[in-house]
Structure 1
Amino acid sequence: MSQSGLPVRADRDPSPPRRIAMLGGTFDPVHHGHLRSAVELREALALDEVRLVPASMPPLRGEPRVSPADRLALLRLGIGDTPGLVADSRELERDGPSYSADTLASLRREFGREARLVMALGHDAFLRLADWREPQQLFELAHVVVIDRPDHQAALPEALIELLAGREVDDVEALMVRPAGYLLRLRLPSRMAISATEVRQRLAAGRSVRYLLPEAVEAQLLSRDLYRHG
């Protein structure tokens, strides 16, 4: 009872929907650019988790240089105890190519239809989005957040413009109104210009990769001679 003598009504508001992002890639190998982007993405979107999902067989890229098990182990080493970052192995446990629509469908089943599900991707991958398998289904399952590059002024392909019609929003609040269906362009503070290709080339040549990736990842790469011959 309240001081007025009226019964106090229990708060019936449900807990807010969970906010989950998928950040895919080969992570060949994981480096500070991947990890810092994941941390800043979580902060910018107020996410509960960022799921870093290594691809087993990326449909639009070449074969990764080391085994899926090694890339996953390195990713887990790199993440360590960072709050809110999760190394997610679901694409490595499926047969066949790693299609994002299948991964998002799996995440949607796991977290429920009200969860705010986000697929985050870089600008280069975004420009090819209309070429992905079932691109419309991506928006049925999740929002798309593009980690923008301020120096990238390339015009969007016509097929991509058609795919995005009516979907773009200007801020996180508008994005999170619905569980899926919108596009947000996001500029992260650090924008580390680290390339996995450059890391592999340096390792193959026996050159230093210090400060390009976490120390635990570097130590494992060097102790096992991964990427050394290439």
Structure 2
Amino acid sequence: MLSKPIGLLGGTFDPIHIGHLRPAIEAQQALSLAEIRLIPNHIPPHRANPRCSSEQRLAMVRLAATENPGFVVDERELAKNSPSYTIETLMALREELPDTPLCFLMGMDSLLGLSGWHRWQELLDYAHLVVSCRPGWQPDYPAPVTELLAHHQTRDAEALHLRLAGHIWLADNLPIDLSATALRNLLAKGQDPRYLLPASVAHYIDQQGLYRTDAKIPLASPAQPGRK
């Protein structure tokens, strides 16, 4: 018998905010997930180095997790000195949790660009894909995604409990038009970020003086080419 599925949400979380958390909360409730694992990465393969250090981002993710029942932090990608590829993380989790369905949470923008991800054809061998809608992203799917949906999409939430992997579930969630870039720009101007991220995270950012125009940018290993 399979265990209850768990949700997986990866990212730089620079900083973590409601655009990350609210879709995850809705997926947790809609799919009856046992937990949501927040997986911050150290070297993102698909974008520039984060503004804050791995230690600072981990501290913010931990604070966010404590405010949300059923949320936990998985630090495995922070321990890597190489780019964090989703397929490698899913393979490691599958080995650790052989009887637990894995639900990898992503936005519609990520689904549309899935064919650019590292070993993307193998993702559904290890997890279900749970896709949240994003403002401004219409579902005009490229051919590879159209084919994936034709073979793997389900509207039945219970189906994700009955198989370890292989389904794509499109969420009907409340779209939140907020990016970490926009939030960092707001913080750099000294504006109040209230209600855009957890209060404890906002307090940590203020206490540490993060994202201010006079804040020092930490040194980090150079990002490597490639995709998630």
TM-score, length of structure 1 as denominator length: 0.86
Q: 1:203 to 1:81 in 2, by over 3 A?
A: closer
Q: 1:150 to 1:191 in 2, by over 3 A?
A: closer
Give the % identical residues.
43
Residue 176 of structure 2 is matched in structure 1 by: 192
Q: Which moved more, 1:167-176 or 1:130-139?
A: 167-176
Q: Which has the higher contact order (CA 8 A, sep 6+)?
A: 2
TM-score, length of structure 2 as denominator length: 0.87
1:158 to 133, 140, 143: 143
Q: Report the 3-state secondary structure (helix = DSSP H, G, I; strand = E; otherwise coil) of the residue aligned with 1:206.
A: coil
Residue 47 of structure 1 is matched in structure 2 by: 33
Shift in Å, 1:76: 0.7
Residue 63 of structure 2 is matched in structure 1 by: 77
2:7 to 21, 46, 58: 21
Residue 223 of structure 2 is matched in structure 1 by: none
Q: Map residues 25-104 of structure 1 onto 2, 5 A cutoff.
A: 25-104=11-90
Shift in Å, 1:165: 4.0
In the alignment, structure 1 residue 131 sits paired with structure 2 residue 96 = no
Q: 1:96 to 1:116 in 2, by over 3 A?
A: same
Shift in Å, 1:159: 2.7
Residue 206 of structure 2 is matched in structure 1 by: 222
Describe the superposition over 1:127-161 as per-residue Cα deviations: whole angstroms up to 9, x where unpaired.
Answer: 11111011121111011111124763241112322
Whether the aligned pair in 2 keeps the contact of 1:23 and 1:52 (CA below 8 Å) is: yes
> Which amino acid in 2 is paired with 1:223?
Q
* In 1: Cα distance, 2:149 partner to 2:118 partner: 15
* In 2: Cα distance, 1:224 partner to 1:151 partner: 33
2:159 to 153, 174, 180: 174
Shift in Å, 1:98: 0.8
Q: CA RMSD in A?
A: 1.7
Aligned length: 214
Q: 1:33 to 1:17 in 2, by over 3 A?
A: same
